[in-house]
Structure 1
Amino acid sequence: MTTTAVRRTTATTSTSNRREEVTRLLPRPLLIVIVTALLAMVLVPTLYIFFASINSDIQVARGEFFPSEPTLANYSKIWTTVGLGRGLMNSVIVAGSVAAACAFLSVFTAYVLVRFAFRGRLTILRTLVGLQSIPGTLLLLPVFVLFSSAASVLGIQIIGTRWGLFLTYLTFALPFSTWIMVTYLRGLPRELEEAARIDGASSLKILTRIVIPLAWPGIVVAGIFAFLLGWNDVLFASVMTRPDTRTAAVALQVFGSTQEGGAVPIYGQMMAAALVCAVPVVVLYLVFQRYLVGGLTAGGVK
């Protein structure tokens, strides 16, 4: 018994050593240096923005890193100076709607493309990949002209509305979200669906009762990428919105451009507004972190 236990311990130790050798791509000292450098590249600018947001504009203009008299006044002023409240509300409504629509539509579309064979299936899959290579700036004018023509024909105002911006983002986010779900659904076992089909379940019931619960990581990733597209966009939002439908990104851009050429730009409020706009995205990542890890690594190991 003692010999067997020793052999098992030796085997376990050797296995863990081999795993450590495989997973460690770099020597430990070099790995520490690289990780420290990467953390510094991320944390130093973030700390500077935070310290500038609790500092006065004159001290920031002088180049002071640490505030001598910290204050939270900038965080209370941005709601009237920048008009950030309405911008955040518009961003949450538009980006959240795009994320929900992409997550819902992409899983149904991907399930059809992965589980059913029909003419033109490969063409659709290749088109989804090819659409990602088209720069969005090239489509700004065509989309604007299309929506303007549709508004004149149908008599419905599209440009300047939230739902017009929603349609714009959905056009760009849905192909990428669908491709994410195609990659994820390819890794799900077909045996579960076949067993449910033998029991008499329809394709819709299999999708809602089996596929969607198993595909939550992929759905979350598709939704988050669609949300980020609508949250960070400035180009389309600056053209497709009015002052009352501006998103937070456009509000920040307009506020920053109005400060150019002034005696002392309002640096503190700009930094505070930037941090406030970054909070929803950070919270989103923290809440869905475990789903993101599973969804992004889907399809990497077969």
Structure 2
Amino acid sequence: MTTTAAIRPSDGSTAVDRPGSQQQREVTRLLPGWLLVLIAVLLCAAVLLPIVYIGLASFNSDIGVASGEFWPSSWTISNYFTIWTSVGLANGLMNSLIVAGSTAVVSAAFSIGTAYVLVRYQFRGRRTILRALLGLQSIPGTLLVLPLFVLFSSSATYLGLQVIGTRWGLFVTYLTFSLPFSTWVMVTYLRGLPKELEEAARIDGATNLGVLTRIILPLSWPGLVVSAIFAFLPGWNDVLFASVMTRPDTQTAAVALEIFSSATEGGAIPQYGQMMAASLVSAAPVVLIYMFFQKYLVGGLTSGGVK
């Protein structure tokens, strides 16, 4: 009979040494350490160098950026003051925050109730609904631009309800795509929550609504934050639907940037500095959201229950 552990009799530093542990570590590490470090450095450089270049170009003149300067020869902060009038960024940021923020909040609020019913209750058509939620994610959004535009345009003719060009019309459009995904995220998360907590609350006399608001909701904050952020991002970054379903006073920041870049392409020297500055300002809210909710994101993406 062979032993699975070897005892070191004399040095006293380690009592037991498993003979296969070193071989397992060597097999697990598929790449040598120096190569892992090199790959990590290259990946970080691929991500950070464009951001650094955009930041430096935002403080450079248009001529300097056009000539290919990486480090500005003359520094200026005028680009950050000019974009508020030339790009119309203030109105675009406000519209983006209203539409994308409301989409995130409403999508997260509806998804937790829908996911709770789908996870905790058995009824006919439950599996069909779950499969439909997953199948909706495979439909490209570009295929729905024309049908949605025709549908919303017809509402003004047949119902007297103006949808095209309004913020709430864009909100309904984004909610169409974000709600199925948010519901599926919450379904995955709620499956990991123990039923014993709900049973204990019901023994104490809690209703279904009480269980949802007092037990499920406090335990689901990481999942709610993940679903809300992933519902916020498409609304913030979208250009296709926003360019079709908005007018100048309701256009989002992404559309404002696209219009500004297209309008400056015909000039002798495009206004690169202002475009870089406007891009950084438009990306700042998303970066701040990730930094503020980082711990919830990690918890929501890596765990699905309570410890």
**TM-score (ref. length: structure 1):** 0.92
Match of 1:250 in 2: 255
The structure-2 alpha-carbon separation of the partners of 1:19 and 1:84, relative to structure 1 and needing over 3 Å to count, comes to: farther
Q: Does the CA-based 8 Å contact 2:64-2:72 persist in structure 1?
A: yes
The residue aligned with 2:187 is 182
Q: State the partner residue of 2:111.
A: 106
1:201 to 203, 206, 220: 206
2:173 maps to which of 126, 147, 168: 168
Superposition deviation, residue 296 in structure 1: 1.3
User: Could you list the per-position Cα deviations for residues 161-193 of structure 1 after superposition, in whole angstroms to 9, with x for gaps in the alignment?
Assistant: 000000000001000000000000001111111
Letter in 2 for 1:277: S
1:43 aligns with 2:38: no
> Matched residue of 1:101: which SS?
helix
Against the structure 1 CA distance between its residues 26 and 90, is the aligned structure 2 distance closer, same or farther, given a 3 Å change threshold? same
- What's the CA shift for 1:256? 0.6
Q: 1:183, 1:298 within 8 Å by CA — same for their partners in 2?
A: no
What is the percentage of aligned positions where both structures have the same residue? 69
Q: Any conservation in 1 of the 2:62–2:272 contact (CA below 8 Å)?
A: yes
Q: Larger Cα Rg: Structure 1 or Structure 2?
A: 2
Kindly indicate whether the alpha-carbon contact (under 8 Å) linking 1:79 and 1:85 is maintained by their aligned counterparts in 2. Answer: yes
Amino acid corresponding to residue 281 of structure 2 in structure 1: V
1:134-153 matched pairs, under 5 angstroms: 134-153=139-158
In structure 2, how many angstroms separate the alpha carbons of the residues matched to 1:173 and 1:74?
35
Length, aligned pairs only? 295
Supply the distance in 1 between the matched residues of 2:262 and 2:301 (Cα, whole angstroms). 37
Name the aligned partner's letter for residue 50 of structure 1: G
CA shift, 1:74, in A, is 0.3
| Partner Cα separation in structure 2 for residue 201 and residue 7 of structure 1 | 58
Structure number with the higher helix fraction is 1
Query: Which has the higher mean CA deviation after the structures are superposed, 254-263 or 129-138?
Result: 254-263
Please list every run of 5 or more consecutive structure 1 residues that lacks an aligned counterpart in the other structure. 1-5
Code of the aligned partner of 2:142:
T
After TM superposition, the structure 1 = structure 2 runs for residues 1-302 of structure 1, keeping only pairs within 5 Å, are: 26-299=31-304
Letter in 1 for 2:277: A
- Structure 2 stretches lacking a partner, 5+ long: 1-10
Structure 1 consecutive aligned stretches of length 4 or more whose deviation exceeds 3 Å: 6-14, 16-26
RMSD of aligned C-alpha atoms? 2.4
- Say if 1:50 and 1:271, in contact at 8 Å, map to a contact too: yes
CA deviation vs aligned residue, 1:131-161 (integer Å, no higher than 9, x gap): 0000000000110111111222221211000
Equivalent-residue separation in structure 2 for 1:213 and 1:18 (angstroms) = 45
Cα distance, 1:9–1:126 mapped onto 2, change above 3 Å? same
Instruction: Tell me whether 211-220 or 17-26 shows the greater mean CA deviation.
Output: 17-26
- Match of 1:244, SS state, is coil
Structure 2 vs 1, CA of residues 165 and 20 (structure 1 numbering), >3 Å: closer, same or farther? farther
